[in-house]
Structure 1
Amino acid sequence: MPEEVDLMFAIGLKPEKAIEYFASKGYAFTWDWHEMLNESHAKAFTVAKAMRLDVLQDIRDTVQKALDEGITLRQFWEELTPKLKAKGWWGKVMGEDGSEIQLGSPRRLRTIYQTNLQTAYMAGTYKALMENVDDRPYWQYIAVMDAATRPSHARLHGKVFRYDDPFWDMFTPPIDWGCRCNIRAYDHEDLMEKNLPVEKSEGNITTEERLVSKKTGVTTTTSVYKDPITGEKAGTGIGWNSNPGAAWQLDVRTYEKALQMPENIRSAFIGEMARAKIHQEMFPSWVDGIIARGKARGFAITAGWMDAEVLDSLHSRGIKPETPVVIINDVKIIHLYRDKKRELGKALGLEEIKKIPSIISDYEAVLWDSLNKDTILYVFSSKDKKGKLVVEINYGLKGEKVNLIKSGGVVLLENLKNDKRYVLIKGKL
């Protein structure tokens, strides 16, 4: 039986936001954990090698109970173990290739318990922190600082950055498996009273490519922060190079909060979000993982935001996006990469697919499709032609209305100009 750990000490009382976050997750089946890296973990509940829905349902329901009722690890283990054993999801089995595979075990249940509760809690915490940034805009990284704390996490303990510093794009806890770190928010008076310096991460964050599977050769990007004074480095774990609170659902919630701002501030805020680098930095490694895997799992990611001018132009035409958030899922990535038009030179290249967030923030023109009124095109240069991303407005996804990139390709400029269905709403062709 695993050691009983009172995780509530680390994550506090059950936060309703954490419960809502976990309950809103969808299901995803993965054989290898690295098939769901970074932001994908914030969008769908998954347990590696849990390929049966009934097994996944049992695990998910028990994790949900841990969130709702605050049960300990021992209670979690005692309730779930008999169910998994009865369904044969326990111990070691032989894989089709003859290799030995570990299914359920005390160690795995402990990892599932700690990872899902801490990730859920920190996503909820992130929402609460963002809702209070006007009063407490300075965030401090807090590690538990005991014998089990990893040196990399201990090096970040006590560091203070503004909430909008790029540091938090990569280093919002949890930053690795079993991470127990947290964030504490301060106002200016708090900083003065505690004599806490505010650091800036600009120029001090780099990335490293690390191997996640010797079998497949798949690699992923991890983030490294170098202390400008001591030179010590702290890095994220494999698969944790993102902020779980910055998934696309939270982008939607952020916009809902922005609706309460005065018009001029809201427009400026939307502009900043439309240029946010977090999407641009995560996107290429996410695409690489999908291409390496060769098949889609139905995961979605934020590709960017429509800017205020595009929104206003659509509103003037009676088209009202419920959010400026633009997403794309791995199904569409596979479609773009395997597009049948590739032999005709009409498909996007892989490097262009990886730059989709940059295209949305730095396009040449946006066209409105007057025939398909809930569709716009982002137009950009593609060698000697023009590239396009086709976005469906108010696409329904998991109870939210977002804007989905549904296709893309390469076209001749004359074709865009001569097609009367397209109306230029921003930029220049």
Structure 2
Amino acid sequence: MPAHALRPLWGLLLLLACQPPAPTVDTPPNIVLIFADDLGYGDLSCYGNPVIHTPHLDRMAQEGVRLTSFCVAASVCTPSRAALLTGRYPIRHLPGNLGPESMQGLPETEITLANLLQDQGYATMAIGKWHLGHATDALKPTGRGFDRFYGLMYSNDMIRPWVNTDSLLMLYENEVPVREVGYEQANLTRAYTRQALDFIAENRNGPFFMYLPYAMPHLPVSAPEDAMQAAGGHRYRAVIQDIDAGVGAILHQLDSLELDDNTLVVFTSDNGPWHNLPDRMLQRGNERWHTGSTGPLRGAKATTYEGGYRVPAILRWPGQLPADRREGLMTSMDLFATLAHQAGALLPTDRPLDGRDMWSFLLGEGPARDTLFYVNHRRLEAVRIGNWKLRLDREEGPQLFHLDEDPGEMYNRYEREGETAAALRAAMEAFSAETDASIPVELFGEEGQ
């Protein structure tokens, strides 16, 4: 029985009734999930960037599925990661960003993708930026389904002078801080890549799940001298090309170990670029142009325009996924069910899941996702159903865009499409009733919450 979309408003009974189809292959695949930080829709050459050269990601796109309407579930770091690893909107568990002094994290009752795969016998490792809680060992990666961890517990800017904290930026191995990173971050991407290559080699007999959330291009960006020279001295370009080189090294490792045909590799980003960065970030050499491109999209990180939510996404699995492009909607939450299904894992049935198994869509045989709610912390600001998107803006009021005809969200058709706007508003109100998300209904010109 094919898996169907678990729409956010469907009840638990339907969730229990929907069973996934059998996995595609008998041997569970290795899974590599690469999650860049603040990388924009227009930052890769295969997504139209004219100056940044990303030949290895371009190769992934040529040999796999490139998605043109892939969205995250939040446009800032922590909630986006929480949604990715649980398949659930972050308003259900962790809607806001964490900092160095944060005592909370992803609730221990949440089930992560790593938990599911670990239970299936996968070797699991997280390498890079965690940002889902660190106050106790139970909140750290090794408490959330990962056998091993190497990286930072939160963003690479969370030290003085950018953040008001006395905490040090430390590199962790498993639960233990092993050295201070501080401002010396130029080799961080390559350190993560080396760990990734070692993990693949050590677990070549598989199956393994490697989650690789690179810390950049989140500010502050820096890269090794040879990468800077190759990029003509342009810092942001150097950082993206260094990440691309890391992806190339991973693909080469998989090929050399004859793991290519049984490894599913995913590359995407946690949200769009930080164009609207605060003045506090403009210290120690940071510049506004050290951020990326949204391509044709409007908005940026921390907004509910497409430039904050829509990011590059490429999936490659030779012999299993076609070399093709998909234009329909898919989200980071859908990766939870999609990857779990390919690993032969059963999804949790004791909670609503907002992601759905999209394998048939990736194959070109099934429908795209049809609905996405855009929640900013606890405030529900927008909904997309099909190609229509209703958004509430503090300055411009209600906005209605047709994303197929107007992906740049330039032409507000709210006044002309009243019936469509009413249907989308009803969906927002229903989701608000289910999740307790607030809707700024005063922006409709009414009294409201």
TM-score by length of 2: 0.27
Return the structure number with greater strand share. Answer: 1
* Greater Cα radius of gyration, structure 1 or 2: 1
The higher-RCO structure (CA 8 Å, 6+ apart) is 2
Return the structure number with greater helix share. Answer: 1
